[in-house]
C-alpha cells in the first residue's frame, strides 16, 4: 500500500509538472521574441547611421571633384561648348554636338578630338569615377537620303565612337558605358532652333566608385 501511495504521489507530481511546462515554454518563446525585437531595433539605427555617414562622405568627395572640374574647364578655355552640373552624387559634363561632331554624322571634328583628349586627361586624374556616355539629338526627323534611319541610330553610334576613342586613349573599360537616347530627355522644348541646338549634346555622367583611389 505504501508503494502504491508513493507511485500515486509521483503521478500527481508529474501531472502538475506537465501543467506548468506549456506556460513556461510559452514564456521562453515570448522572451526570445522580445530580445529579437530589441536587437533589430538596436541594429537598424546603426545601419541607418552608417549609410548616412557614407552618403555624406560621397557628397563631400563629389563636391570637391566638381570644383576641380569647373577649374579644369576654365583653365582650358572650354566654357563655350561645355558645362558641368552637380546633381546629388553625380557630376554631369555637357558638351554641345557642334563641339564634337560634324552635323548629322558620327565623325569627330578636329576641335572635337582636341576636346575629347582634354577630357581624357581629366578622366585619368579622376580615376575613381565611372563615366557614363549619353548622346542626345533634337526631335527633327532625319533628312531624306540620310545614312541613319532615325536619331536613335545616330546618337548610339556617336556614343559608341566616343567610348572607343577613350578606350584607345587608355581609359579602363570597366569605367565606361555608352548609350544613345535620341530625342529623349530634352533640356529645353524643341520649339526654336536655339533650343534644339542645346538639346543636341553629349553628357559624361561621373559617379564615384567606392573603394577606388
Computed on alpha carbons and rounded to an integer, the radius of gyration of the chain in Å comes to 33
Residue 16's pLDDT band, with cuts at 50, 70 and 90, is: low
- CA 190 – CA 196 distance, rounded (Å): 5
Identify the pLDDT of residue 154.
Answer: 96
- CA 49 – CA 45 distance, rounded (Å): 6
Query: What does pTM read for this prediction?
Result: 0.77
Contact 199, 138 (CB under 8 A): yes
User: Which class does domain 57-208 fall in?
Assistant: alpha beta
Residue 15's pLDDT band, with cuts at 50, 70 and 90, is: low
* Residue 183: DSSP 8-state: T
pLDDT higher than threshold 90 for residue 41: no
| All structural domains of the chain with their residue ranges | 57-208
Identify the pLDDT of residue 20.
Answer: 54
Of 52-61, 156-165, 186-195, the poorest mean pLDDT is in: 52-61
pLDDT higher than threshold 70 for residue 64: yes
Q: Nearest-CA neighbor of 130 among 160, 90, 73?
A: 90
Summarize the confidence of residues 117-122 as an average pLDDT. 96
* 180 strand-pairing partners: 135
Residue 204's pLDDT band, with cuts at 50, 70 and 90, is: very high
Amino acid at each position: 500500500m505504501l508503494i502504491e501511495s508513493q507511485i500515486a504521489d509521483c503521478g500527481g507530481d508529474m501531472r502538475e509538472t506537465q501543467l506548468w511546462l506549456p506556460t513556461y515554454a510559452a514564456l521562453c518563446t515570448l522572451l526570445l521574441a522580445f530580445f529579437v525585437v530589441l536587437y533589430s531595433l538596436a541594429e537598424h539605427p546603426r545601419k541607418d547611421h552608417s549609410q548616412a555617414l557614407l552618403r555624406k562622405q560621397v557628397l563631400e568627395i563629389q563636391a570637391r571633384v566638381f570644383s576641380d572640374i569647373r577649374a579644369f574647364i576654365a583653365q582650358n578655355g572650354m566654357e563655350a561648348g561645355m558645362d558641368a552640373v552637380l546633381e546629388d552624387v553625380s557630376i554631369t559634363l555637357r558638351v554641345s554636338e557642334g563641339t564634337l561632331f560634324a552635323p548629322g554624322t558620327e565623325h569627330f571634328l578636329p576641335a572635337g578630338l582636341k576636346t575629347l583628349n582634354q577630357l581624357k586627361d581629366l578622366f585619368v586624374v579622376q580615376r575613381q569615377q565611372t563615366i557614363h556616355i549619353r548622346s542626345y539629338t533634337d526631335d527633327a526627323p532625319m533628312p531624306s537620303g540620310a545614312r541613319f534611319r532615325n536619331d536613335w541610330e545616330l546618337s548610339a553610334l556617336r556614343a559608341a565612337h566616343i567610348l572607343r576613342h577613350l578606350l584607345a586613349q587608355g581609359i579602363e573599360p570597366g569605367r565606361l558605358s555608352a548609350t544613345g537616347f535620341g530625342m529623349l530627355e530634352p533640356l529645353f522644348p524643341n520649339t526654336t532652333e536655339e533650343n534644339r541646338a542645346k538639346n543636341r549634346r553629349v553628357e559624361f555622367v561621373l559617379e564615384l566608385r567606392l573603394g577606388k583611389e
